[in-house]
Each structure stands twice: as structure tokens, then as C-alpha cells.
Amino acid sequence: MPLPKRPYVASADQIRISREGEYAFIEYADEAVATTQLKVGAEMLATMDDEQLLDYWNELVRNNDDFRDRVKYVAEEIPLGKPQVSYFEPGDQWTPRGHVLRCQILSDAAIPPKLTEPFVSIDGRDFTLAEFMKMVGTFGGWGMRIEFVPADEMHVRPKLRVKEPKREKR
């Protein structure tokens, strides 16, 4: 499933607006752009025609774009020895405390007895792949980089070289 395109400032012929309760649904003609469920509030929504709602939507998109242009993203990493994840009881799931997770992938190839599936270990706590995906799902819509490093060097950013791997000889 390809990532949806980010919403953009649109004209009336580029989107379709529908309403339900306190929500407006902004659906782009370009199917690659995700439909947005925008909570406006029932009272405010009742006073707005489609043109006003489009102006409101476009202003939100412009403000979001301006914010992204102004703010330099800095990933926060939890210090060594401090817990990187915490349990969020209302959601019945573990969540990352920062933006970096130092973790180790463990599989049946490395651990006796034979495991039925690989798992991810964070701070000595083991997560199934489903639990891990639920945890990182709290960053849904974000991008993610994975850098494989020796297990005893997870706290060190490796040097990075961008290149195509050498072709294997047959």
C-alpha cells in the first residue's frame, strides 16, 4: 500500500466536501491523497457553506506547511539506562517515550528453543512483532529509518555511507 500524498491547498473542483455531525470530510479528486475527517464542531459547521469550509481547510493546510518549513525536527532519544517505552493503560499498549528506539531483533536462529516468530527486545522487555507494530503505530503517518548495528553498539549512531551494495557473484 503506497503512502498517501499529503493534503495540499485545493480549489473547489479538486475536492469534495461532505458533512456528518461535527465533522467535515475532505476528499480529494486525486485518490492518492488521503481523505481527512476534520472535526469542526456542529455549531460552527452549520454556519459554513462549502466555500467557507474550503477556505478554512486551506488555511489549516497553509499553517501546517508553514510550521513544517519553520521548525527543524530533532528526534529525542531517551538516555541509556532510562526506560524507552511506557505502558499506556487507557490504550492497553506500550508506547515509545522518545523518537528513537534502541532494540534488538531476536529470532529462532539465535535463541534456543525454536521460536514460532521473531520478536523485538527493548530494555530487556520482549515484544511480539504484532505488539511492536502496535507500539510504533503511535507514529502512524511518520517515516521511519532502520539502521542495523551490533547489539552492543545500539547507543552509537553508525557512520553512514550511501551506495548500492556490490552485486553477488554467482
pLDDT digit string, tens, across residues 10-36: 999 999 999 999 999 999 999 999 899
* 41 φ/ψ angles, rounded to the nearest 5 degrees: 105, 135
Residue 111: band (very low, low, confident or very high) from pLDDT cuts 50, 70, 90? low
User: Same structural domain for residues 97 and 64?
Assistant: no
Give ∠ CA 3-105-155 in degrees, rounded to 5: 90
User: Same structural domain for residues 90 and 65?
Assistant: no
Helix %, strand %, coil % of the chain (to 5): 25, 20, 50
- pLDDT for 34 equals 86
* 63 φ/ψ angles, rounded to the nearest 5 degrees: -60, -40
User: Same structural domain for residues 16 and 64?
Assistant: yes
User: Same structural domain for residues 60 and 115?
Assistant: no
pLDDT tens by residue, 31-45: 999 899 999 999 999
Q: How many beta carbons lie within 10 A of that of residue 53, not counting itself?
A: 19
User: Same structural domain for residues 58 and 90?
Assistant: no
Q: Is 47 among the domain residues?
A: yes
Percent of the chain whose predicted confidence (pLDDT) is above 90: 59
The count of domains in the chain is 2
Q: Is 4 among the domain residues?
A: no
CA 109 from chain center: how many Å?
30
User: Same structural domain for residues 24 and 58?
Assistant: yes
- pLDDT for 122 equals 95
